[in-house]
C-alpha cells in the first residue's frame, strides 16, 4: 500500500477524493491537509461533509494538518492536490522540491512546458515530461496535472477522431454547478436561469486540449495545431458537464465512422479506468447529465447526436465533472504514476 496525502481535503473535490481513495486497494490515506483555520481539528470537525454517502469512519478522526512541507510526514509517497489554484501555485513546487510526487487537479502550472498534463487513456507518454522537469528544476519529487473538467470531457472524444486530422473545434458547454465548488454558484444565480460565461474556462479548454493532443518527442511537447473556440455556460444541474462539439477535419468523416472510432477507442489498464472509455448512443437525446454521468463509476465519457456538417461532424459528449473531470482524474493519474514507477 502506498501512503498518500490529500491536499485541500475539506473542499468539494477533496471530499470526492476521500470517497474514491478511502476504499482504494493500492492507496492508504495517511494525511489530510487544509487551510490554517482547519489545522489541528479532526477531519470530521473541519470538513462540513456534504457528500451523498456518509463520511468514511476511517477518516473522521484524522487530525488535519496545514498544507505545508513541514507538516506532511516523510513516509507519505504520493499527494493528491485539490487546492485553490493560488495556493497550489505557492505550495506545490515546494512539495515537489521536498521530494513528494504530486498528482494535482489545481489549475496552476497546467500549461508549463515541463509539467505533464495527462489523461492516462489519451496521452500517457506525456508523463515522461517529468524527466525534463526533474532535470530542469532539480526536484526529487514531481508535479503532474490533470486538465480542467470541461476539457477532460471533450478531449477523449477528439482523440478518437484525430485520425481524420482535426483542424478546428467549436464547443459549447452546459456545465453543472458542482464544477464551481460547494459555494461557487448561489441558488439565486442559477435557478430558472443559465449563465453564458465561466471566468477562465473558455481559455482553459482552448489551451489544454491542444496540449493534451500534442506530441511529446522526449524533450518537449508540441501543441496540436487545431483551432479551438469554446463558449462555456453554467446551467442548473448538480453533476455532469454536457458539451456540443463541432469538429472540422482534414479528411472526410461520417457520423457512423466517428461513432465507431469512439466505441473502439481503447481504455487504459489502470484500476480506475472504465472497461469501456467511450460510450456512444444512437438516441440523439442522449447522453443526458442525470441519466449518464455515472457510467463506468463516473469515469466513462458518453457521446451521441452525431451529424454531418459541411466540414466535419457535430456531436455531444458528457462526463461526470467531479469524478472523471476532477477527483477521479487525479486518482487515475496517481495510478499511472505508480504503474510507471514514479512513485
In the shown chain, the binding pattern of residues 186 to 215 toward its own copies, with x for contact by CB under 8 A and - for none, equals: xxxxxxxxxxxx----x-------------
Tell me which residue has cell 487537479: 105
Pick between residue 103 and residue 237 the one whose CB is nearest to its own copies: 237
Does 170 engage in binding with its own copies (CB under 8 A)?
A: yes
Asked whether 27 and 338 are in contact (CB, 8 A), the reply is no
Pick between residue 71 and residue 194 the one whose CB is nearest to its own copies: 194
Instruction: Return the C-alpha cell found at 3.
Output: 501512503
In the shown chain, the binding pattern of residues 278 to 297 toward its own copies, with x for contact by CB under 8 A and - for none, equals: ------xxxxxxxxx-xx--
Does 161 engage in binding with its own copies (CB under 8 A)?
A: no
Question: Distance (Å, rounded) from C-alpha 72 to C-alpha 249?
Answer: 48
| Burial bucket for residue 186 (CB in 10 Å: 0-12, 13-18, 19+) | exposed
CB contact burial 290-312 (16+ within 10 A = b; e otherwise): eebbebbebbbbbbbbbeeeeeb
Catalytic residue of the set 126, 149, 224, 279: 149
Catalytic residue of the set 126, 224, 232, 241: 241
Local structure of residue 285 (DSSP, 8 states): T
Question: Distance (Å, rounded) from C-alpha 328 to C-alpha 178?
Answer: 14
Pick between residue 25 and residue 183 the one whose CB is nearest to its own copies: 183
For residue 234, the minimal CB distance to its own copies (Å) is 9
Pick between residue 63 and residue 197 the one whose CB is nearest to its own copies: 197
Is-catalytic flag, 149?
Answer: yes
Tally the C-alpha atoms within 13 A of residue 152's C-alpha that lie toward its C-beta: 33
Which uninterrupted H or E stretch holds 231? strand 227-234
For 143, list phi and psi in degrees, rounded to 5: -130, 120
For residue 47, the minimal CB distance to its own copies (Å) is 14
Per CB under 8 A, the segment of 48-56, 58-66, 143-151, 252-260 that binds its own copies is 48-56
Does 341 engage in binding with its own copies (CB under 8 A)?
A: no
Is-catalytic flag, 279?
Answer: no
- Nearest Cα to Cα of residue 274 among 137, 60, 120, 91: 120
Pick between residue 120 and residue 304 the one whose CB is nearest to its own copies: 304
For residue 240, the minimal CB distance to its own copies (Å) is 8
Which uninterrupted H or E stretch holds 40? none
The residues annotated with a catalytic role in the active site are: 149, 241
Q: By the criterion CB under 8 A, which residues form the site for its own copies?
A: 12, 50-54, 168, 170, 172, 174, 177-178, 182-197, 202, 227, 229, 231, 233, 235-238, 242, 244, 246, 284-292, 294-295, 304-305, 307, 309-310, 314, 316
Amino acid at each position: 500500500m502506498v501512503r498518500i496525502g490529500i491536499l485541500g481535503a475539506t473542499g468539494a473535490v477533496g471530499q470526492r477524493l476521500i470517497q474514491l481513495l478511502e476504499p482504494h486497494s493500492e492507496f492508504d490515506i495517511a494525511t489530510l491537509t487544509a487551510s490554517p483555520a482547519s489545522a489541528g481539528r479532526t477531519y470530521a470537525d473541519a470538513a462540513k461533509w456534504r457528500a451523498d454517502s456518509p463520511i468514511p469512519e476511517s477518516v473522521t478522526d484524522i487530525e488535519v494538518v496545514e498544507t505545508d512541507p513541514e507538516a506532511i510526514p516523510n513516509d507519505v509517497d504520493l499527494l493528491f492536490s485539490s487546492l485553490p489554484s493560488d495556493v497550489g501555485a505557492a505550495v506545490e513546487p515546494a512539495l515537489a522540491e521536498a521530494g513528494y510526487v504530486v498528482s494535482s487537479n489545481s489549475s496552476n502550472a497546467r500549461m508549463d512546458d515541463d509539467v505533464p498534463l495527462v489523461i492516462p487513456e489519451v496521452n500517457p507518454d506525456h508523463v515522461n515530461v517529468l524527466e525534463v522537469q526533474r532535470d530542469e528544476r532539480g526536484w526529487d519529487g514531481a508535479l503532474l496535472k490533470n486538465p480542467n473538467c470541461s476539457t477532460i470531457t471533450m478531449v477523449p472524444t477528439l482523440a478518437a477522431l484525430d485520425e481524420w486530422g482535426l483542424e478546428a473545434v467549436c464547443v459549447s458547454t452546459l456545465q453543472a454547478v458542482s464544477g464551481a465548488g460547494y459555494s461557487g454558484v448561489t441558488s439565486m444565480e442559477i435557478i430558472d436561469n443559465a449563465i453564458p460565461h465561466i471566468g477562465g474556462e473558455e481559455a482553459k479548454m482552448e489551451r489544454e486540449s491542444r496540449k493534451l493532443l500534442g506530441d511529446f518527442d522526449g524533450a518537449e511537447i508540441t501543441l496540436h495545431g487545431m483551432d479551438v473556440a469554446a463558449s462555456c455556460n453554467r446551467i442548473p444541474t448538480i453533476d455532469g458537464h454536457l458539451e456540443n462539439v463541432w469538429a472540422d477535419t482534414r479528411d472526410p468523416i461520417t457520423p457512423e465512422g466517428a461513432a465507431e472510432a469512439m466505441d473502439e477507442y481503447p481504455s487504459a489498464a489502470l484500476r480506475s479506468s472504465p472497461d469501456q472509455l467511450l460510450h456512444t448512443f444512437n438516441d440523439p437525446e442522449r447522453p443526458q447529465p442525470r441519466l449518464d454521468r455515472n457510467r463506468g463509476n463516473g469515469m466513462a465519457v458518453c457521446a451521441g447526436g452525431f451529424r454531418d456538417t459541411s466540414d466535419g461532424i457535430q456531436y455531444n459528449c458528457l462526463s461526470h465533472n467531479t469524478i472523471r473531470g476532477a477527483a477521479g482524474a487525479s486518482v487515475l493519474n496517481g495510478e499511472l504514476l505508480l504503474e510507471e514507477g514514479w512513485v
